Structure 1
Amino acid sequence: MVTRPRLYSGMQPSADSLQIGNYIGALMQWRELQQSYQAFFSVVDLHALTQPNDPAELREKTRRTAAQYIAGGIEPSRATLYVQSHVPAHAELQWILTTLTGEGEARRMTQYKDKVARYGKDAASVGLLVYPMLMAADILLYQTDIVPVGEDQKQHVELTRDLAERFNARYGRAFTVPMPVIQRETGRIYDLQNPTAKMSKSAESDAGVLWLLDDPAVTAKKIMRAVTDSEGSVRYDRQAKPGVSNLLVIYAALTGRQIPAIEDEYAGRGYGDFKKDLAEVVVNEFAPVRERALALLADPAELDRVLAVNAGRAEEVANATLADVYDKVGLLRRA
């Protein structure tokens, strides 16, 4: 029997709904990859604790994120889809990896440096400082071969590789050294009202964000009001025409068409027709996902059951890795 290579990825439950950048940049690619990899997908709720959270809202966002994973095409019977905190080995392995990480190494991580530079040291918790070690634990627990990530997370995967190699050299081989796989450029979607800024769940304004669970009429209105320019021609030029270029990327990603073919179709037709057709594409893509997610959320007991079953599968792999690590570092097993 040929064993499929393993894949790990996850998203934080930081909003009630995923946005189109999450859908195109992660979910669309994950559902393809789960066909050829033994995939582990996690709702990384422990990572979310690096920001202040209302406890009830965090629990609800965690369920909603998991429901959207499934609605977006992740199959819990094929991939292992679970909530990070349901597998305690994540936090336990993080501690071991933290003891292998230099303070300067941790402080050089871009995410931590950026927050300190923007808000000062007091705004950045120790949790944010050691966040990359938790991400490394997420990955290494499953003997992961590849990690699909955006360019902004590549540094964390490189640290994960360093820690895996460091542990293996010091204590004996316990970890597969993973490879980052940078998600396709189509995964970089920009804010509809500020097309030079990446679309984000934490955007200051809702007007530029296309939420997966938005009412279809709201989604269409946001697209029709998207910032473009005064030229009036539908063509891709990321520097000169960021708004139109962003809309072209969305159109191409959701239809599987090439951007030059879309440019040809709308040559001489202006932005009105283009935006109207794009709104129809997005609404038609989101509609079944939205319907399925809301149906899952209407039966939280069944959703929790699916997540519990998957957490059990994840634990079998994670606990075996952790036991090996504990033995190798010399921790005494409980009698």
Structure 2
Amino acid sequence: MNSNLRSPHLGRSLRYLSSSIQNTGFRLHADDLPAEAIIFSMIQPTGKFHLGNYLGATRIWKDMCSLKKADQQLFFGVADLHAITVPKPNPKEFYRYRREAIASILASGIDPSKSSVFYQSSLPEHSQLYWLLCNFSPLGSLNRMAQWKSKANIQEVLDDQEKIANVNLGLFAYPVLQAADILLYKATHVPVGDDQSPHLELTRTIATRFNKMYKTKYFPIPKTLLAPTQKILSLTNPAKKMSKSDPDQIGVLYLNDSPELISKKIKRAITDFTSDHMYYDEENRPGVSNLITIISGIQRKSIQEVEKDIEHFKNFKDFKNYVTEIIIEELKEPRLEFEKLINEPQYLDSVIEEGRVKAHEVVSKNISEIMEIMGYS
């Protein structure tokens, strides 16, 4: 591995630590994960993926596929049960989003021959274990989760009783379903973004409670894998994350955006008034810092290395042209592959079914063992 691709603060790309959280480097080594690791991760079906989805999730899935060892198991799913915690009143649109999510996963380079790619909803064992684990889930822990408050537009737990009264149970309790997703496969490692870390802590709490109650070590205590790539922000409003639901779509970069559209979006990206020196300052230069973060994620370089690469730029036009070229080149293959796959419904169906069958072999055995431990056999 070329040392100039590593973060100077992280050292080796992925250390196998005894703690519950592992910080990954920009690249993985073949020996970074245990030979019998079970890796699980899912992404919500918001349709075609944006750059944040790609850099924050699916690209590391691709890395894991390329470095997979014979006894490792990789499960990558579309979390379509989680998706309905926010209402999806248009079934045709929701169906299309689910299909585009599968196509985006494959277009990102995930190899279905080395992993299982499937819909969460195609395996009822997820919902079955979810109910069982609800009875090991502390209400206080769920109440402290930030995600449901954010989606319900609640700033503080007690700031708006009417809003709280209208929160649906699924949105409030979906971290338990997330725990069931992970524990159903007896996953040992879960690559997630930093905003999902509290949910992994809850998963470990639930697993520990279950194991303690039944005097067993059935559930491994899964490790959180955190990549150094920071969250990608909106190009036009760097105060918030890049999101498909953003009403200003100029601020969102999609995997299947044309080179012309990428160029247009980067030209309109928010910067500031200091054009003779490009440097990272998240507080005072959020727009420029976001573009630097994008370069860092794509090139797998530290922020400091990127700053050194761009120090010669003395105006935003040249800097933005540089950013545009990097993004266009990185997304060229995923864009072409997505366009190909979305027009091959039979192939997508075959991948989904093959992934479901492989996953079902694992989860049907595991749920039977869990039920037996609990006295349901």
One fold, TM greater than 0.5? yes
Distance 1:183 1:10 in 2: 16
Measure, in 2, the Cα distance between the counterparts of 1:271 and 1:318.
52
Other-structure match for 1:290: 335
Q: How does 1:290-309 map to 2 (within 5 A)?
A: 290-309=335-354
Structure 1 counterpart of 2:113, one-letter code: S
Q: Compared with structure 1, are the counterparts of its residues 291 and 23 closer, same or farther at alpha carbon in structure 2 (3 Å cutoff)?
A: same
Aligned to 1:117: 154
RMSD across aligned C-alpha pairs, in angstroms? 1.8
Q: What is aligned with 2:131?
A: 95
Query: What is the CA deviation profile of residues 290-333 of structure 1, one whole-angstrom value per residue up to 9, with x for unaligned ones?
Result: 1111111101121011110111101111111100111111224x
For residues 288 and 191 of structure 1, do their structure 2 counterparts lie closer, same or farther at Cα, with a shift above 3 Å needed?
Answer: same
Give the CA deviation at 1:108: 2.4
Residue 288 of structure 2 corresponds to which residue in structure 1?
A: 244
Answer yes or no: is 1:164 the counterpart of 2:207.
Answer: yes
The Cα offsets for residues 182-201 of structure 1, whole Å up to 9 and x where unpaired, read as 222x2411111111222122
1:257 offset after TM fit, Å?
A: 4.2
Distance of 1:254 and 1:162 partners within structure 2: 34
Q: Which residue of 1 aligns with 2:76?
A: 41
How far apart in 2 are the matches of 1:147 and 1:261? 28
User: Taking structure 1 as reference, are residues 183 and 260 closer, same or farther at Cα in structure 2, changes over 3 Å only?
Assistant: closer
Structure 1: runs of 5 or more not aligned:
none
- The SS at the match of 1:9 is strand
Shift of 1:252: 2.4
Shift of 1:272: 0.6
Q: 1:307 to 1:235 in 2, by over 3 A?
A: same
Are residue 23 (structure 1) and residue 54 (structure 2) matched?
yes
Report the Cα offset of residue 92 of structure 1: 0.6
1:13: Cα distance to partner? 0.4
- The corresponding residue for 1:10 is 42
- 1:60-71 map, 5 Å: 60-71=96-107
Whether the 8 Å CA contact 1:116–1:123 is kept in 2: the answer is no
Does the CA contact (< 8 Å) of 1:174 and 1:324 recur in 2? no
CA contact (8 A) 2:38 2:187 kept: yes
Tell me the TM-score normalized by structure 1: 0.93
Query: SS at 1:249's partner residue?
Result: helix
Aligned pair partner of 1:82 in 118, 130, 153: 118
Q: CA separation of 1:106/1:228 partners in 2, compared to 1, >3 Å: closer, same or farther?
A: same
1:261-286 per-residue CA deviation (whole Å, 9 max, x = no partner) reads 54344425311111112111111211
Secondary structure of residue in 2 paired with 1:221: helix
Equivalent residues of 2:40, 2:190 under 8 A apart: yes
Output the CA distance in 1 between the equivalents of 2:153 and 2:376: 36
TM-score by length of 2: 0.83
Contact in 2 for aligned 1:142/1:321 (Cα 8 Å): yes
Q: C-alpha separation between the residues in 2 aligned to 1:309 and 1:68? A: 17
Structure 2: segments with no counterpart, 5+ residues: 1-33
Q: Contact 2:116/2:354 (CA < 8 Å) preserved in 1?
A: no
Is the 8 Å Cα contact of residues 118 and 355 (structure 2) preserved in structure 1? yes
Over residues 236-255 of structure 1, what are the superposed CA-to-partner deviations in whole Å (9 max), with x where a residue is unaligned?
A: 12122111111112112222
Question: 2:359 matched to 1:328?
Answer: no
- CA distance, structure 2, for counterparts of residue 264 and residue 110 of structure 1: 36
Identity fraction in percent: 36
CA contact (8 A) 1:26 1:187 kept: no
Deviates more, 1:96-105 or 1:115-124: 115-124
